[in-house]
């Protein structure tokens, strides 16, 4: 019977100590500690998120009417690299040639979740590019602000994503 309380203490102690010692304190607690101890590094607080640049004011959203009759889609997400939060208001451009030889171009903005979608895209070879708006592209490769996409008729090309760093 004495073993049960000892076993419980041995199992519970690491969890209790881990909660009190780890990252994840709330922002109010961290701000209060920073005010009380200016200049001191407070290592138990999560780092402040990097600033996100404002949406591009020069982005003109457009789509060609020919795209409305097709069922293909090209989608992706734009992330802030350091914390993997999404970035809204990023201008994304689609350009290329359909399998029938038509020149296709369109421009959209990422939504509140950092997602973009080009709907009604005919099969063909395209390039999807983001406006970096002063940020550095870190994914899919450093400096790669355009992604080539080969789309089959009626297909969906997903996960055409970027990660950007300030």
Widest distance between CA atoms in the chain: 81
Contact (Cβ atoms closer than 8 angstroms) between residue 87 and residue 50: no
Asked if pLDDT for residue 162 goes beyond 90, the answer is yes
- Look up the CATH number of the domain holding residue 105: 2.60.40.10
pLDDT bucket at 44, cuts 50 / 70 / 90 = low
Residues 90 and 160 in one domain: yes
Q: Which of 51, 39, 16, 14 shows the shortest CA–CA distance to 133?
A: 51
Confidence at residue 93, expressed as pLDDT on a 0 to 100 scale = 94
Instruction: Say which DSSP state 69 is in.
Output: G
Same domain, 83 and 15: no
Are 71 and 22 in the same domain? no
- Range in 12-21, 78-87, 147-156 the model is least confident about: 12-21
Choice among 27-41, 69-83, 140-154 with the minimum mean pLDDT:
27-41
- For the chain, what is the domain count? 2
Rounded CA-CA distance 43/30 in Å is 10
58 vs 134: CA distance, rounded Å: 13
* Confidence class for position 26, pLDDT limits 50, 70, 90: low
Range of the domain at 31: 3-36
Please tell me whether the overall predicted TM-score, pTM, comes out greater than 0.85 for this model: no
């Amino acid at each position: 019977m004495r073993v049960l309380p000892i076993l419980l203490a041995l199992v519970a102690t690491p969890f209790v100590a881990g909660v009190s010692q780890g990252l994840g304190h709330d922002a109010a607690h961290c701000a209060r500690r920073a005010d009380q101890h200016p200049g001191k590094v407070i290592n138990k607080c999560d780092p402040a998120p990097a600033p996100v640049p404002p949406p591009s004011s020069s982005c003109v959203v457009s789509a060609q009417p020919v795209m409305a009759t097709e069922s293909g889609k090209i989608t992706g997400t734009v992330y802030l690299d350091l914390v993997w939060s999404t970035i809204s208001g990023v201008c994304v451009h689609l350009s290329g040639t359909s399998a029938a030889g038509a020149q296709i171009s369109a421009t959209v903005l990422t939504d509140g979740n950092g997602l973009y979608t080009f709907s009604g895209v005919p099969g063909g070879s395209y390039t999807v590019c983001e406006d970096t708006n002063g940020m550095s592209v870190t994914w899919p490769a450093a400096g790669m602000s355009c992604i080539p996409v080969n789309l089959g008729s009626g297909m969906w090309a997903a996960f055409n994503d970027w990660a950007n760093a300030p």
